């Protein structure tokens, strides 16, 4: 292959390749997942990561302003004049001592990478700008995704802001929070509600995209994962290029962990860092396929020869038992993570672990994150809840340096937040109790007072 960038099968034994312009996102030889691969020897790779600091002085250039594209030498698949950016990636890696106390880490040990600051309010924009750029290079006019809400919000925004493509969105009916649904509708996406869940919608959107030649932006699209690598580059940048001990991330379709693993493998291979951090993926207990397969059934990457029959048997048994994903963390309510093989590779490379946490743990962790000053949606707080478990188990030490990725903004799912803090037993029962949450530990109840100045003053003096 003489191209500087191309697509390559993730199975090293298969060795299948595809042209950069191929949009089937399946290995032409074996049907497996593809990576975007580069001939690094023939590309201008920076000598040190400090190189990227110079970009700050050039922030009037939109590509250097973007928190994704200022690292473009580390995913050089598109010429500068084809790149589509809407200013994504201006995110924050904040030291969070209050939350550190909650999870059992020492002050100064925990950082929260707040991806809610992206234009559409979630980490998805990091990948969408990359997929969108690729879509533009192949001349796509329509782009589609199945989504639990954030991918669709992101796609809708990129289509609306650039006017280059029409967004076609598949969602499971009743499976998307209002914040996210409102974004798809407001940004003029064609929104198709399927009688089914995310797993059903993802199957259908792949069929439909193939049949109608619509560009697919779900995370089977390897270009999306190239953009998501920048979340890790920004973390390193915020930590002055020091590698943390752990990165903790919620796991849904497993695109993030796959992307992070690839980022660290490439940085290590290029000699830009001397070790990779360990990766922890956190599933919701109601959508725990990855946890089950990795921790209970011992499924491993095994140099690309992972035990496929074991994986297939697990999915078949799940279907036979009609087991459907069920969690209040609707963003990660997924039973068939499409990137599972890539996630196995990431954990192999980075010495990773997987944990599952209950919805109660997720909501409590979310409240602690909120009280610490950064608001996130339930799925994002799974990372913090999982970290707490890992510290309790002694897998992560109190002095380890840890970064949790907060994947989405608190306003994505206000229903969950209000139900958690509500003093109305009916609201609690309807939204949380019915879904298995028995109690909440950190509810901040609204104070009810009559419309009377003295009573109001009394209440404030009592509580504040």
Distance, CA of 430 to CA of 438 (rounded, Å): 12
3-state secondary structure of 212: helix
Query: Which residues from 135-154 bind ligand F0G, rule CB under 6 A?
Result: 147-151
Query: Which residues from 170-209 bind ligand F0G, rule CB under 6 A?
Result: none
Q: How many CA atoms lie within 13 A of 78 on its CB side?
A: 25
- 413 burial type by CB count under 10 A (0-12 exposed, 13-18 middle, 19+ buried): buried
Query: Which residues from 33-72 bind ligand F0G, rule CB under 6 A?
Result: none
Q: Which is closer to ligand F0G, CB of 252 or CB of 261?
A: 252
Q: Which is closer to ligand F0G, CB of 259 or CB of 272?
A: 259
Residue tagged 């909440």 (tokens): 440
Query: Which residues from 259-318 bind ligand F0G, rule CB under 6 A?
Result: none
Shortest Å distance, C-beta 388 to ligand F0G = 18
Among 119, 179, 252, 372, binds ligand F0G (CB under 6 A): 252
Distance, CA of 274 to CA of 234 (rounded, Å): 17
Shortest Å distance, C-beta 362 to ligand F0G = 11
Q: Binding string, 354-393, against ligand F0G, x = CB under 6 A?
A: -----------------------x-xx-------------
**298 contacts: CB under 8 Å, gap ≥ 6:** none
Shortest Å distance, C-beta 271 to ligand F0G = 28
Shortest Å distance, C-beta 177 to ligand F0G = 10
Q: At 309, list the tokens.
A: 């029959």
Shortest Å distance, C-beta 196 to ligand F0G = 14
Shortest Å distance, C-beta 385 to ligand F0G = 13
**58 contacts 64 by C-beta, under 8 angstroms:** yes
- 19 burial type by CB count under 10 A (0-12 exposed, 13-18 middle, 19+ buried): exposed
Among 119, 250, 277, 386, binds ligand F0G (CB under 6 A): 250
Q: Which is closer to ligand F0G, CB of 109 or CB of 122?
A: 122
* By CB under 6 A, residue 217 contacts ligand F0G: no
**451 contacts: CB under 8 Å, gap ≥ 6:** none
Count of Cβ atoms closer than 10 Å to residue 145 Cβ: 31
Ramachandran area for residue 87 (φ above 0: left; ψ -120 to 50: alpha; else beta): left
Q: Which stretch binds ligand F0G (CB under 6 A): 244-252, 272-280, 363-371, 421-429?
A: 244-252
Q: Which is closer to ligand F0G, CB of 7 or CB of 380?
A: 380
Residue tagged 């995704």 (tokens): 145
Among 118, 120, 122, 288, binds ligand F0G (CB under 6 A): 122
- Give me the phi and psi of 255, to 5 degrees please: -75, -45
Q: Number of helices and strands (H, E) in the chain?
A: 16, 13
Q: Which is closer to ligand F0G, CB of 156 or CB of 332?
A: 332
Q: Which stretch binds ligand F0G (CB under 6 A): 96-104, 240-248, 250-258, 350-358?
A: 250-258
**158 contacts 129 by C-beta, under 8 angstroms:** yes
Distance, CA of 326 to CA of 456 (rounded, Å): 42
| Residue 279 host element (H or E) | strand 278-284
Q: Which is closer to ligand F0G, CB of 261 or CB of 372?
A: 261
**Count of positions on this chain that bind ligand F0G (CB under 6 A):** 22
Residue tagged 């994903």 (tokens): 325
Shortest Å distance, C-beta 25 to ligand F0G = 15
**250 contacts 383 by C-beta, under 8 angstroms:** yes
Shortest Å distance, C-beta 407 to ligand F0G = 3
* By CB under 6 A, residue 407 contacts ligand F0G: yes
Q: Which is closer to ligand F0G, CB of 219 or CB of 289?
A: 219
Query: Which residues from 309-338 bind ligand F0G, rule CB under 6 A?
Result: 331-332
Among 7, 109, 113, 253, binds ligand F0G (CB under 6 A): 253
* By CB under 6 A, residue 230 contacts ligand F0G: no
- 318 burial type by CB count under 10 A (0-12 exposed, 13-18 middle, 19+ buried): middle
Where does this chain bind ligand F0G (CB under 6 A)? 122, 124, 147-151, 219, 250-256, 331-332, 377, 379-380, 407-408
């Amino acid at each position: 292959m003489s191209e500087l960038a191309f697509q390559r099968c993730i199975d090293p034994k298969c060795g299948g390749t595809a042209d950069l312009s191929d949009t089937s996102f399946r290995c032409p030889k074996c049907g497996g997942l593809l990576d975007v691969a580069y001939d690094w020897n023939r590309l201008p790779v920076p000598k040190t990561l400090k190189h990227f600091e110079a970009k700050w002085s050039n922030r009037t250039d939109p590509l250097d302003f973007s928190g994704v594209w200022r690292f473009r030498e580390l995913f050089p698949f598109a010429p500068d004049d084809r790149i589509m950016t809407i200013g994504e990636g201006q995110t924050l890696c904040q030291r969070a001592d209050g939350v550190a106390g909650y999870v059992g880490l020492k002050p100064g040990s925990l950082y929260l990478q707040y991806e809610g600051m992206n234009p559409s309010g979630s980490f998805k924009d990091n990948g969408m700008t990359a997929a969108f750029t690729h879509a533009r290079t192949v001349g796509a006019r329509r782009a589609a995704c199945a989504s639990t809400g954030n991918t669709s919000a992101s796609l809708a925004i990129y289509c609306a802001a650039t006017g280059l493509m029409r967004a076609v969105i598949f969602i499971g009916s009743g499976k998307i929070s209002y914040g996210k649904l409102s974004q798809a509708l407001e940004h003029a996406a064609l929104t198709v509600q399927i009688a089914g869940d995310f797993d059903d919608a993802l199957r259908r959107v792949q069929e439909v995209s193939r049949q109608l030649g619509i560009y697919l932006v779900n995370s089977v699209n390897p270009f999306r994962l190239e953009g998501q690598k920048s979340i890790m580059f920004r973390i390193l940048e915020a930590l002055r290029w020091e590698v943390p001990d752990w990165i903790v991330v919620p796991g849904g379709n497993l695109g993030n962990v796959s992307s992070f693993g690839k980022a660290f493998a490439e940085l290590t291979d290029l000699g830009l860092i001397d070790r990779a951090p360990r990766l922890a993926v956190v599933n919701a207990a109601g959508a725990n396929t990855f946890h089950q397969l990795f921790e209970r059934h011992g499924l491993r990457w095994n140099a690309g020869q992972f035990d496929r029959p074991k994986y297939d048997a697990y999915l078949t048994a799940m279907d036979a038992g009609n087991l459907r994903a069920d969690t209040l963390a609707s963003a990660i309510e997924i039973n068939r993570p499409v990137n599972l093989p890539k996630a196995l590779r990431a954990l192999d490379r980075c010495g990773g672990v997987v944990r599952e946490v209950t919805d109660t743990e997720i909501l409590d962790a979310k409240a602690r994150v909120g009280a610490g000053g950064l608001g996130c949606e339930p799925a994002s707080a799974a990372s913090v809840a999982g970290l707490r478990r890992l510290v309790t188990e002694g897998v992560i030490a109190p002095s380890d340096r840890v970064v949790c990725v907060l994947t989405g903004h608190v306003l994505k799912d206000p229903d969950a937040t209000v139900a958690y803090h509500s003093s109305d037993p009916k609201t609690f029962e309807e939204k949380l109790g019915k879904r298995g949450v028995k109690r909440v530990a950190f509810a901040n109840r609204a104070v009810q007072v009559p419309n009377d100045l003295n009573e109001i003053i009394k209440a404030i003096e009592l509580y504040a």
